[in-house]
Every structure is written in structure tokens, then in C-alpha cells.
Amino acid sequence: MPTCRICGTPLHTFLDLGHHPLSSAFPTPAEARRGDACDAFRYRLAAGICERCALVQLTDDIPHERRPYPGYPYHSSGSSVMREHFRATGRHLLRTELPGRHAPFAVEVGCTDGVVLRTLADAGVRTLAFEPSGYTGAEGVRVHRAFLTAASAREAVAAEGRAQVVYAANTVCDIADLPGFFAGLGELLAPDGVFVFEDPYFGEIVGRTAFDQFYDEHRYYFTATSVRALAERFGFRLIGIERLSVHGGQLRYTLARAGRRPPNRAVAELLAEEAARGLTDPAVLAAFAGRVDGVRKDLVALLEELRATGRTVAGYAATAKSCTVTAYCGLGPRLVPYVCDSTPAKQGRLTPGARIPVRAPGAFAAPYPDYALLFAWNHAAEIMAKERAFRAAGGRWIRYVPDVRVV
């Protein structure tokens, strides 16, 4: 029986999506033909909830040598909406946590493009990124190429001092050694400092039937209840919560050292809401799994019907989430002949497992398909505004969150 990575308590497995390839392993056509494709590896994609601390997590570990992935293709600021979100986050931290500080110092864990840090640096804040992947697209962002651990934190503190703010976005959910991470946070954070992080919210995943939020890059799926327990286990306290609309529904959590600051009203309100919704109730989780299975059946049936009637279909955005959909639903080039994506590193390659060709955005209009399967549903408003000509030409979008529909 799988056990919780944090407290060792047995997990209740409530969702099993079968065996999947790694979501960022896009083979070239030549690799696929030779049979040595980077997406040959498969792992079991299943989720469970800890019966003690309520932390939702993937039940199966992926071998360390499979992570991280060479040529990791995700850029945090690839979307105009996300660029503005991260700029706004930087301004929020300047307004709420850094005003009046003498020689303020802020750290981001997993910065990639560094939009938040550049916003802070432009306002005169000294910044540093812990970015072990070796990638940063940001000029002027100082990078400490290491995971945040007690040892690496001590190195940074010796050179820089302690940080008033430590920030992370879509990073904590994939940290293998959370105890080691919190040990590093304890070394790095100033006594009155805060740790602010944002990740997908499990309550939104259940509410939207957003099963494609489960994939290999996310080990953990947080709630206020589980973050409170996690913080207290490592000497911190959950003091703030904000709801975010990005990435299909996230929460921004603020943690401080135990005893330093009281929690705000939003924390108590969301804890009560989660209890009322029964997010840890096996019956609620079983109902969620049932809805997920219904989406699979409905989506496959729709695509089969469109193919049988001679309608053309293209995928839109070769996201990590799309790998979950294609693998779980058994989709391939027969039902989705190609997918368009704006990431140059993915173009000319094949999607993981499904082997659907990835084309540049220009292929979407040459000519337009009859239907577009919107994998990047969390960017729907931005994409549909950009692709008005597709609708004007008679094209229609296929959505599958929270249910299968044509719009």
C-alpha cells in the first residue's frame, strides 16, 4: 500500500488514470521510428489522499534519473496573461511584504523566466533565484544553481543574508524532498519573513473535474487543510490565503514562522469551506473519479462521431495536461491528426505517447479545421480572443472541463 511521503500514513487511492509517458518527453519522428524515443518510459498515474494530514499526492514515484527532463520546454512567461500575473505578483509583494524594509532581499525558488524577480529588482530589491534546472531566460537575474536545502540555504545566507520573502510558483507541488526543502526554508528565511507560494488547488480540480491537472510534474495537490498541517509539521504557520484564477484555479499561500503572525480571516473561511465540501470524504472523491470516467467516454464518443462524419479536428496547445488527456482517453493521430503549439522546442516533434505531430501555430489556419480540441483550457479566454478568425470561418472549440461540450 502506498504511504504519505510526509508522515508515512497509508494513502487512500481515489483515482487511477492508467500508465502514462512523461509529459515533457516529445520524441522526434526519427526517434519514434527507431524505437528509441524518449517517451518509451511509462509510470502509473494515480492519486491518493493521506488519511492523516489530508495531503493529496501521486501514489507512484518516478525514478530520479528520469527527472528533470533534457531541454525542458516550459517558459513561465510564454502567455501574456501569465506575464502580467507574475508582474502583478511582484507588485503585490512590494506592496504587502517589502515596504519599509532596509536593504530588502527576496528569493524565488524555481524562477525560470524570472518575471517576478525582475519586477522586484526594478524596484530596488536585491534578488536571488534557486534554479537547479540550469535554465533562466532572464537577463540580470542572479541564480544559485541548487535545490533549496539546509546546506544550500546556509551558503546563500553566508553570502547574502536572510531573505524577507521567499516565493515559489508551481514549484512546491513537485519538490521530492519537502522535509529537506522546509529545512532550507528555515535557514534562509528571516525571523519575521514570509514564504509565499502558489500551486494548483485541489478544491478547484474536484469542482471542475479537471483530471488533466494530474501529471508527472506535480507530485502534490494542496488544500488549505493540508498546507496548514504541512506548515505546522515544520515549524511554520499558514497565515494567508488568496484565490487565483490562473492555471485553472490556484491558491496563493503565505506562511510565517510559528508564533510570529496570526492567520488572516481567509484562512479560517477556507478551512471551514473545505470541511463543508468534504474534500477528504471517500464518497466525494469516488464521485469525482466517476465524473472523470464520464468525461473520457464522452470525449472519445464525440471525436469518433466527428471522424465518422468527415469533420476535421486539430489539437490546440501541446501542454503537459494534454498528455494526461491523450493517454487516459487513448487519443492519437487517428482522432486528432495534429496539434498546434507556439513553443519552438516542441514543433516538429511528436506528443508523448500519443505520437501526434506538433506543428507551428501557422498550420492552424492552413486551412482551419472544423473543430479544435482545446487542451490549454485554462487559457481559453486569451486563446479564443486571439483566434477570432477561426470562429469567423465557422470553426468550433471542443472543451472537456468541466464536461465535454462544443462551443
Rounded to 10 deg, the angle between the 178-188 and 150-160 helix axes is 20
Tens of pLDDT along 245-259? Answer: 887 789 999 999 999
Give the residue-averaged pLDDT of 308-326.
97
At residue 341 the predicted structure's pLDDT band, cuts being 50, 70 and 90, is very high
The share of the chain scoring above pLDDT 70, in percent, equals 94
- Residue 301 or 98, more confident: 301
Look at the chain and report how many structural domains it folds into.
3
Question: Is the pLDDT confidence value at 118 over 80?
Answer: yes
Q: Which of 56-60, 86-90, 253-257, 289-293 has the lowest mean pLDDT?
A: 86-90
Asked if the bond preceding 333 is cis, omega within 30° of 0, the reply is: no
User: In this structure, which long-range contacts are made by residues 331-337, counting pairs with CB atoms below 8 Å and at least 24 apart in sequence?
Assistant: 331/300, 331/303, 331/356, 332/356, 333/357, 334/307, 335/300, 335/303, 335/304, 335/307, 336/303, 336/373, 337/312, 337/313
Q: Say how far apart CA 208 and CA 4 lie, in whole Å.
A: 25
Domain that residue 48 falls in: 11-66
Question: Is the pLDDT confidence value at 4 over 70?
Answer: yes
Can you give the pLDDT at residue 132?
83
Can you give the pLDDT at residue 72?
47
Give the residue-averaged pLDDT of 213-226.
96
| 265 and 120 in a common domain | yes
Residue type for position 133: S
| 37 and 21 in a common domain | yes
Of 244, 276, 308, the last residue of a domain is: 276
| 322 and 198 in a common domain | no
Task: Answer yes or no: is 293 within a domain.
Answer: yes
Q: Say how far apart CA 136 and CA 331 lie, in whole Å.
A: 34
Give the residue-averaged pLDDT of 357-384.
96
Task: Please identify which residue in the block is written with the cell numbers 506528443.
Answer: 351
| 227 and 187 in a common domain | yes
| 86 and 60 in a common domain | no
Give the residue-averaged pLDDT of 178-199.
97
Q: Tell me, what CATH number does 347's domain have?
A: 3.40.50.720
Give the residue-averaged pLDDT of 107-127.
90
| 229 and 89 in a common domain | yes
Give the residue-averaged pLDDT of 114-142.
84
Task: Answer yes or no: is 346 within a domain.
Answer: yes
Classify strands 313-316 and 339-340 as parallel, antiparallel or unpaired. Answer: parallel
Q: Tell me, what CATH number does 110's domain have?
A: 3.40.50.150
| 401 and 338 in a common domain | yes
Of 276, 300, 328, the last residue of a domain is: 276
Can you give the pLDDT at residue 137?
56
Task: Answer yes or no: is 85 within a domain.
Answer: yes
| 153 and 39 in a common domain | no
| 192 and 169 in a common domain | yes
Q: In what order do the strands lie in the sheet with 126-130?
A: 143-144, 126-130, 105-109, 163-169, 189-200, 250-257, 236-244
| 287 and 193 in a common domain | no
Task: Answer yes or no: is 195 within a domain.
Answer: yes
Q: Are 383 and 374 in contact (CB under 8 A)?
A: yes
At residue 282 the predicted structure's pLDDT band, cuts being 50, 70 and 90, is very high
Tens of pLDDT along 289-301? Answer: 999 999 999 999 9
Q: Are 335 and 313 in contact (CB under 8 A)?
A: yes
At residue 71 the predicted structure's pLDDT band, cuts being 50, 70 and 90, is very low
Task: Please identify which residue in the block is written with the cell numbers 514543433.
Answer: 347
Can you give the pLDDT at residue 70?
43
Give the residue-averaged pLDDT of 11-18.
98
- Residue 65 or 143, more confident: 143
Task: Answer yes or no: is 185 within a domain.
Answer: yes
Give the residue-averaged pLDDT of 53-58.
97
Can you give the pLDDT at residue 67?
65
| 312 and 289 in a common domain | yes
- Residue 324 or 1, more confident: 324
Task: Answer yes or no: is 4 within a domain.
Answer: no
HSE value, Cβ hemisphere, 13 Å, CA-based, for 37: 24
Question: Is the pLDDT confidence value at 338 over 70?
Answer: yes
Q: In what order do the strands lie in the sheet with 220-221?
A: 11-20, 43-50, 56-58, 220-221
Task: Answer yes or no: is 156 within a domain.
Answer: yes
Task: Answer yes or no: is 119 within a domain.
Answer: yes
Of 215, 244, 276, the last residue of a domain is: 276
At residue 373 the predicted structure's pLDDT band, cuts being 50, 70 and 90, is very high
Q: What does the mean pLDDT of the chain come to?
A: 93
| 115 and 244 in a common domain | yes
Give the residue-averaged pLDDT of 358-385.
96
